[in-house]
Structure 1
């Protein structure tokens, strides 16, 4: 049923914003609500009118002040708890001055007295330093350096310098430019990159010590340097030529390592042969001396016999090594010469021709071995040798 439905008598008596007695109730008064709350806390005066007691002099009672103070102390104490993460360390400042360092975990500090700043000391941080730099031989190269570091002293990292990360970046750029400026372009681009990295790391570590950055350099990595794009093709050709030079040098060194042992072995063999020949001649001379010493008493005992025997032994040795025979004809003044070397050489040629013709005959008759029966003939040469020939015959 509606509030103002006709026939319900006086509609004003049914107004929800009025009480049953007909008095206008209205929305609640905010001032009255605050006074009621203060009265319950003992902070305000009592009475139907909600007025403060004239004896209070306009202040709060001592009981209310105590409760407020206790609440503020509790809030202040609870707000003092804080947590430092596992990878961090806390730097405690008391009235703006360094007080101490705290480890990871739950801690408490007096609020408004101490303040805490946390620093990550476990994770490794990283940044890159790059730019176009002038080398010792007045060439320009683009160099990139990757630096990895971590914080080891949170106090120095925060307060020794204004910005430790920025200071480290500037020191890195200065050290890198100094090292590149004292290195040729070829070394920066090719074989000297490791030296540039090591020199830069050493100089950077020495440079940051006086500033007390609280930072430790973990490692630096020199990325491949490259020339400016305008001259990149010419630099690529130069690098290719250097690589070819190194390849030729390595091939020559490999060839030298291969040939040198052979030459040394040949030298040792010649030396050993010379030493053996020397020892042979020495032993031969010593043998001759020993034989002469043994022959001397015999010669003294029978000079003529010994002389004739030596003469005959000498002629025997001479004639044994010659193919010429001289025959003395008895009763005549002429001496016959028998060229045995020519005779033997001619006989060898004849035997060779016979053997070759025999081989040809055998090869020509190989296909008809089933129809032919070979007949073996023996021929005696003038030198007393025999040669066999196979003549084909028919069945």
Structure 2
């Protein structure tokens, strides 16, 4: 009969326990007894839990998964630090590797090729008892993975503290003007060397690539005064450079002018000496000729002198004896050439030809006398 049918055996809840709610504890006990292997079923004595073969299979699968969990891959930029029960064992490079799975061995991967950065701004006292604010930036990387993991608890923090110490030491040995102007590069180099020495002594496994001074300024209240001082220094250097440029342009020009004048003076000296030597030699030769024939030489010198003088001047020849008181001078022809111009006498408005004949006869006679004197001198 169904539990919900009417009648003496019907309308009865199967979960009803003496007409009350079901007992949860009893149900749990029955569930555990059925699936937990807590008792025997029937008279056959077979176990109520999982079969032994299934338990062994589960154990084998779990062991295989545990062994497979030991495989790991190290990237090209990384190094793997293998730990055995927390103690350093070895360092492996890039590629796939296997380790004894946890909890026997563990691996810590460290990026050794990546560039790390740290910046620091400090207010420090210089050698000349001035205060300067220095803003620095450091680029570094990991050089030894095992030292980076085991030697120092926090290598990055150690580098920050070492940077503060190094830059304070270098700035404390330098003057403020040196730091603010031309000494930034040198300060950065000295800081890098000192910082690397400190990191190597601590065996942090870090190597410094570069130290840069991004800014170096006096404190805020006195920046205006320092800016004026720097501007004055720059103006001084600019004026010095301009003066040097002017000197470099003027001095070579003056030296060239001096060389030119010296050369011209030497040439003038040589020319004058040569001319004087020539004149002296000519005079000596002329003296020898004069001693042998004084009259002839004297006449020749006179004629040559007159010829030289008269050949370079305009001449007008007048016939004094046959000329009349009224003379006609051809002014328009006198300035045009060096040839002698004979001016005839004017008699009653006419021109006489006697002047030209007399002038031609006088010039021919002078030429004849001059040629005869030269012949005598040559003999």
TM bucket, shorter chain: 0.5 to 0.7
Alignment of structure 1 residues 202-241 onto 2, 5 Å: 202-241=193-232
TM score, norm. by length of structure 1: 0.64
Alignment of structure 1 residues 23-42 onto 2, 5 Å: 26-27=23-24, 29-39=27-37
Query: Which range moved further: 230-239 or 282-291?
Result: 282-291
For the aligned residues, what is the CA RMSD? 4.3
Query: Could you list the runs of 5+ residues in structure 1 that have no partner in the other structure?
Result: 54-59, 321-379, 387-395
Q: Within 2, Cα distance between the matches of 1:269 and 1:146?
A: 60
Residue 191 (structure 1) shift: 2.8
- 1:270-314 CA-partner distances (Å, limit 9, x unpaired): 222122223223323442354345445424433565467668989
Q: Within 2, Cα distance between the matches of 1:289 and 1:12?
A: 176
Q: Which position in structure 2 is the counterpart of 1:90? A: 80
Q: Within 2, Cα distance between the matches of 1:312 and 1:381?
A: 28
Aligned residues: 311
Give the alignment partner of residue 40 of structure 2, picking from 42, 46, 51: 46
Alignment of structure 1 residues 304-383 onto 2, 5 Å: 305-306=296-297
Q: Within 2, Cα distance between the matches of 1:10 and 1:303?
A: 199
| Residue 181 (1) aligns with residue 172 (2) | yes
Cα pair distance change 1:62/1:137, threshold 3 Å: same
Q: Within 2, Cα distance between the matches of 1:177 and 1:24?
A: 82
TM score, norm. by length of structure 2: 0.66
Give the alignment partner of residue 233 of structure 2, picking from 225, 242, 256: 242
Q: Which position in structure 1 is the counterpart of 2:63? A: 73
Residue 147 (structure 1) shift: 0.5
Q: Which position in structure 2 is the counterpart of 1:372? A: none
* 2:117–2:140 Cα contact (<8 Å) kept: yes
Query: Could you list the runs of 5+ residues in structure 2 that have no partner in the other structure?
Result: 312-329, 337-379
Give the alignment partner of residue 134 of structure 1, picking from 95, 116, 125: 125
Give the alignment partner of residue 264 of structure 1, picking from 228, 245, 255: 255
Q: Which position in structure 1 is the counterpart of 2:275? A: 284
Cα pair distance change 1:36/1:286, threshold 3 Å: farther
Cα pair distance change 1:151/1:314, threshold 3 Å: farther
| Residue 151 (1) aligns with residue 133 (2) | no
